[in-house]
Structures are given as structure tokens and as C-alpha cells.
Amino acid sequence: MRGGSRDRRAELTLGAVAVGVLALIALMVVIVFTKAWPSFSHNGLDWFGSGGDADVQLKAMIQNTPLPGHSIYYFRAWPLLWGTLLTTGLAVLIGLVFSTFAAIFIVEFAPDALRRVLDPVVRLLAAVPSVVYGLVGILAIAPWVEHHLISQERKRSVEYVVQLTGANLGVAILILTVMITPIMVAITSRSLAAVPRTWTEGSAALGVNRWRTTWRVSLRTARPAIIAGAVLATARALGEAIMLSMVSGSRGFAANPLDGTTFLFEPVRPLAATIIDYIDGLSVVPLAQTLYAMAAVLLVSSAMLSLAGWAAKQPLKKYGIRA
Amino acid sequence: MRSQPATAGTGPAAKPRSKPRDSISSWPWTDRIAYGLCWAAGIALCAIAAWIVLYMAIKGVSYLKPSLLVQSPVGSPNQSGSGGFLDPIEGTFLVTAIGIVVAAPLGVAVAVWLSEYARPAGLARAVESGVETIAGTPSVVLAIFGLLVFSKSFLAFLSQTSAGGAVFGRSFLTAGLIMSLLAIPLIVGSTREALAQVPAHVREASYALGKTKATTIRRVLLPSVRPSIASGITLGMGRIIGDTAIIVILLGASLRLEGAGGAPILSILRGTGSTLTSYVKENSPAGEGNAPQKAYAAAFVLLVIVIALNAVVVRLSGGQSHADGTL
């Protein structure tokens, strides 16, 4: 058969491309970790702990003057990790509630005219580039917050540790929520719409009202999709660098929840944004290795998220829903 | 039932599939609050989108002059003298073109292999999760990985080499190559989904005519999923155009296209420059230019491009939502 060998060749070529892509990813993981290793090995597990000002430590690396009593690699990432946890965690939590209600509205309650508007609206919000969100945040929202919500007393109350500006944790969370909500709305509403009609009809036939039917039957069926959406949104929030470096205040400060509402106005800076902010110092070896260590942490976190997302999607296959 | 005019009183009942109807006023108050929250969430989404679009449109239209689109940026302390953003627009197209030219064949090949061959099964699963891993990897991580790889001396031909022999690692080629990683998962995802929906009898018909598998893929399957490939590519373009981290890290910060000696086209590809996204960031208060009017104008152009691409995706995929860009 003449076509046989050509057929085989096609399979091998395509397979080789696929394996090539796989190898590239493996290479990425290995290279990033190799480069990051000195930073981890000099600091041990304390890398993740708290101790001193992360910005001071990073600047010491740029100037090649080790902090007194420490090696040049001395670095404690806690303020940055805390910033990442706060921005990502709170944005995903708020987004989860917001997106669930919005998705229920789109699928169950919205009048047809509004539904036709909401579909493109969700798509639009998901497509706006992050730098545009950042620009709106830094030029429109941050000045407004600075003038209307941060009083002089508030500034004075924490001025011995940190200076409050319009770019802060609260604004970062607000914009991040707007960025990631559409992802969750899209996935949740798609799976709510895919809930078998007979199930909700059965519930309605038993005299259960529309809200309770949605809440008890549809939402419960769609739960894996909601989790999958949240996982995807978390990955996006975790990796968001540009927008957050613009509106989070860009200061490696561990915002303190004990400060009450002032907490929301304190500056933070997540890991990804830190990499962007210090990228000009990449030629300084210890700093570069520290930045790659941050990248390694992000890489591991996003890989774990992919895994969690995969696990969350498994029950969905039962219903033949692709999320 | 479009031809029948809707008469008063038969509104909901005239629908082919009526929702279970009950009156809100009979609901317990907790349910009514929840119902109100649903409306609030839906209206809030619309309001946010309307505000962003209107705000950007007003700012964009008031600062965008046609001359900005055809002038090159000039380094200047005040915004009236800093020129336009012709170079960033060219840069955006260049990076997108490089990224897509690399990503499209790779993405389609991986998708075809995954859905038509996928042998051995373990390898297929590994490739699948590999693609998912890139999709989840923050672009800033991809970018600094790229910088490390492209600074190796055997890849010096992709960028410039300084007098001391250090490879710069930053150029349109390197940025475009890493950008292709952003687009690959989207192209793989939409191509695979479409291939999975091609009915088995189409393949069988082709085999029955004596065609080989390779021919079937090339002549039957790929033409039939062309719209999905196109929509995957368009989604990928949107992703590439909107990404800033890779540009900031891998294209350097020069606002103009700066060639790197030698052949005319290759010099630009190996040179540095900027795109609309990095231009917006540079000119925002977070960057160095601090020319908010220019930033607004460029961001408006960027938004228009992205919305246009979005419309293309909707057109191609027949109204199906791909807002999440999942696999």
C-alpha cells in the first residue's frame, strides 16, 4: 500500500510536534528551577517566611551591598506572598459570589432582551486587555479613592509604617474582581444552561419555586463547573502582573488586617507584579535568581491549580458537560 | 412563531417552552432577596462594561488625533511633543504576526495528533496536560523563561549581541516566539473541540473511498473544521495583542522600532521596539513617559482592535461564547 508509509510519516510528524511542545514545557520547569535554586538554598524554608522589608532586601541585591549580618541572597518573601494571597483570594471570593448570582440571572431570570446584551458584555469584559484595566484604575479610580475615601486622619494613623495613596489593596482587588468575574460567569452560565431540563421541571412540578429549584437543583449540578471556573480565575489572578503593578501601590508591604478599614487602603505588591517591577535589575545575578525563585513559586502554584481544575472537572463528564 | 403578533395577556404562555411560572410575591422573603441579588449582579455587569467602554471612548475620542496614528514616538518631557504611536501599532502587528505564524501550525498539529492519533495513550495525556500547563502559566513566568533561553549564545541569531559578546535576548522574534505559547492552548482547544464534533461517518466515508488517514485529515477533516481553527487563531491574536508582561520583558523599552544592523527585514525582527500595550504602560503614571492623554488614546485603539477581534470570533463560532478560552 503506497499510502501506508506516508500515513505513518504523518503520524510521526504530528506526534513529534506534540512531544516537542511537551519537551519545551519540561525544559521551562527545569530551567526556571535551576536558575532559582541558589535563592532557595541560601534562605531555606525561611524564604517563605517574614522578616524585614522585601523591597529593602531586593534593593540591597541591586546595589550589591548585603544587609548587615546577612548574605547577599537574604530574602523573605512573606509580604509579597501575603499580597498575592490577599489580592487573589479576596478577588476570587468576591468574584465567586458575584459571578454565581450573575450566571443564575443570565440563565434563569433575565428577560430575553437583557440576556442578549449580557452575552456580549461578559465576552467584552473578558477580552479587555489588562493594561487597559490598569490604566483606568490608575488614572480614574485611584485618584478618586485618594480624594474621597482616604482622609488625612487615616493617612496619619499609619504614616509611621506606610504611606497611603490611591493605588492600594482595595483598588487592586476591585479591578482584579472585574477582570476575573467574566471567566467565572461564562463557565457557570454554560453549565447551568446544560443542566437537564427534566431535573428542574421535576423540582418545579413538586411545587418548588424557581429560585429554590435553581439553588437546590441546578446550582448543585453545576458545582464542579463553578469550581473549575474559580480555579481558572485564580490562575488568571495569580499571574496578573501588569495591572497589579500599576494599581496595587507597588510596595512590598504586608497589609495588616488589624488596621480595620485602613487595611484596604494599604499598598501591597503580589509576586508577579514584583517580577515586572524589578525586571531592569535582571543582570544582577542574585536578584535575577530571586526573581526566578518567585517565578518558580508561581509556576508550581499554577500547576497545582491546573491539577485542581482537572480534578474538579471529573464529575462533570458524567453529565456530558464540557467546561 | 414569529409571524404571530404577540397579544396582550398571552405573552409568557405564547413561548414554545415556558419556564415554570410562579409569582414572586408568593416567595419567602429570603428567596426574594436572592432574586434581587441576581438582578443586581446582572445589572452591575452591564453597568461596569458600559462604564469602561464609555469612559475609554470619551477619553480616547477626545485625545485621539489622526496624526497620532502616523507619527513615530519622540522622547519628550511633555506630552505635546512626544509624537504619536505609529511604531507601537506596527510593533503590535509584527509581534502578533510572528506569534500566530508560529502558533497556528503547531497548535493545529498538536490538536490533530491529540484527537486523531493520540498513541501511546500515556504520551497523549502528558501532552494534553502540558498544553493545559502552558495555558495556566502566568505570562510573566513565560517571559522571563524566554529571556533566559534566548540569552544563550547559540540563539544569538534571534536578537542582538553586545560588544562584550553578551546576547541581548530581547527582540521582536523572541517576544513573538514566547507569545506563540499564549496562543497555542487556545488554538489546540478550539481545533480539538471541532474535530471531536465531526461525525464518525464522515471519516468512515473517506476511508471507504480508499483514502488514507493522512489524506482524510488533510482533505476532509481540516477543511471541515476551518472556522474553528480560525476562531482559535483569532482568540489567540486577542490574547497576544492584549499581553503586556511579555512585551515589557522581551521586547525592551525603546519606543521606536530599532533595527539591529544587517539585512533590512531581519534587522527589524532582531531589533527592539514597543507595542500598544507597552506604550500604554510606559505613558501611564506607572511608567516613565507620564503622558496620560497619549496612554488613553493608545488604549482606546487597543480596545477597538480587541473588540473587533472579539466580533470576528463570535461571527466564526456562530454566537457561541468562548469568553473563558478554556480547552
CATH number at residue B237: 1.10.3720.10
Q: Which residue of A has its CA nearest to B40?
A: A102
- Report yes or no on B303 lying in a domain: yes
Confidence band for A98, pLDDT divided at 50, 70 and 90: very high
Q: Does B27 fall in a domain?
A: no
Residue B316 is predicted with a pLDDT of: 80
Examine the pLDDT at B326 and tell me if it is beyond 50: no
Task: Check A6 against B19: CB less than 8 A apart.
Answer: no
pLDDT band, very low/low/confident/very high, at B1 (cuts 50, 70, 90): very low
Q: Is residue A111 part of a domain?
A: yes
CA A161 to chain centre: 27
Measured between beta carbons, which residues in chain B are less than 8 angstroms from residue A322?
193
Nearest to A130 among B244, B249, B296 (CB): B244
The yes-or-no verdict on residue A302 having pLDDT over 70 is yes
- At position A38, the amino acid (one-letter code) is P
- B211 is in which domain, residue-wise? 64-316
pLDDT of the residue at B42: 93
Domain assignment of residue A52, yes or no: no
Closest-CA residue of chain A to B283:
A135
**pLDDT band with cut points at 50, 70 and 90 for residue B321:** very low
Which grid coordinates belong to B194? 471541532
Average per-residue pLDDT for chain A: 88
Cα distances from B314 to residues A148, B249, B310, in angstroms, run 40, 32, 6
Chain B closest-CA separation from residue A69 CA (Å) = 31
Cross-chain CB nearest to B280 (options A101, A135, A309): A135
Please tell me the total count of domains within chain B.
1
Please indicate, yes or no, if residue A43 is contained in any of the structural domains. Answer: no
What totals of helices (H) and strands (E) does chain A contain, helices first?
A: 15, 0
Angle in degrees, 0-180, between the axes of helices A112-127 and B29-63, rounded to the nearest 10:
50
- Read off the pLDDT band of B5 (50, 70, 90): very low
Domain presence at residue A54: no
In a domain, A50, yes or no: no
Count the domains in chain A. Answer: 1
Q: Which of A77, A43, A8 is nearest to A272 (CA)?
A: A77
Band of the pLDDT at B325, cuts 50, 70, 90? very low
Chain B residues with CB under 8 Å of A134 CB are 281, 284, 286
Residue A177 pLDDT grade (very low, low, confident, very high; cuts 50, 70, 90): very high
**B68 or B126: whose pLDDT is higher?**
B126
Q: Tell me if A37 is assigned to some domain.
A: no
**Residue B114 is assigned to a structural domain of this protein:** yes
Per-residue pLDDT at B254 exceeds 80: no
In the prediction, which pLDDT does B322 show?
45
User: What confidence tens digit (pLDDT) does each residue in A268-296 have?
Assistant: 999 999 999 898 888 888 999 999 999 99
**3-state SS assignment for residue A214:** helix
Query: With the C-alpha atoms ordered A68, A73, A77, A79, is the resulting torsion angle positive or negative?
Result: positive
Percentage of chain B modeled with pLDDT above 70: 84
- Counting Cα atoms < 13 Å in the Cβ hemisphere of A296 gives 22
Contacts of B314 in chain A (CB under 8 A): 120, 123
Taking CB atoms and an 8 Å cutoff, what residues of chain B touch A117? 46
Of B105, B96, B62, residue with least CA distance to B277 = B96
Mean pLDDT (whole number) for B158-164: 72
Question: In this structure, what is the dihedral angle of CA atoms B303, B307, B308, B314, given to the nearest 10 degrees?
Answer: 160
Q: What is the pLDDT of residue B73?
A: 79
By percentage, how much of chain A surpasses pLDDT 90? 35
- For B105, B118, B129, B261, the CA distances from B249, given in Å and listed in that order, are 26, 36, 26, 22
Domain membership of residue A254 (yes or no) is yes
What distance in Å separates residue A45's CA from the closest CA in chain B?
22
Q: Which of A184, A127, A309, A295 lies closest to B313, judged by CA?
A: A127
Q: CB distance A32–B45 less than 8 Å?
A: no
Decide if B321 is inside a domain: no
| Inter-chain touch B40–A187, beta carbons under 8 Å | no
Q: Which of A119, A214, A242 best probes binding to B when mutated, by most B CB atoms within 10 angstroms?
A: A242
* CATH code, domain with A117: 1.10.3720.10
Of A31, A124, A181, the CB nearest to B148: A31
Predicted ipTM > 0.85? yes
Residue A281 lies in a domain: yes
Residue B318 has pLDDT above 70, yes or no: no
Residue B21: band (very low, low, confident or very high) from pLDDT cuts 50, 70, 90: low
Residue among A35, A102, A200 minimizing CB distance to B41: A102
For B116, which residue in chain A has the nearest alpha carbon?
A11
* B184 inside domain: yes
Q: Give dist(CA B325, CA A138) in Å, integer.
A: 27
pTM: 0.87
Domain residue limits at A285: 80-317
Taking contacts as CB-CB distances below 8 angstroms, the residues of chain A near B117 are 11, 14-15
Which of A60, A92, A28 is CA-nearest to residue A298?
Answer: A28
- The Cα of B278 is separated from the nearest Cα of chain A by a number of Å equal to 8
The chain B residue lying nearest A200, using CA atoms, is B20
- The residue of chain B nearest to residue A122, with distances taken between CA atoms, is B323
| Residue B29 counted as domain residue | no
Best mean pLDDT range from A122-126, A307-311, B46-50? B46-50
The per-residue pLDDT for B112 is: 93
Residue A170: closest CA among A267, A269, A271: A267
Residue A4 is predicted with a pLDDT of 67
**Do A298 and B138 lie within an 8 Å CB cutoff?**
yes
Mean pLDDT of chain B: 83
Does B94 score more than 80 pLDDT? yes
* Residue A73 or B168, more confident: A73
Residue B138 lies in a domain: yes
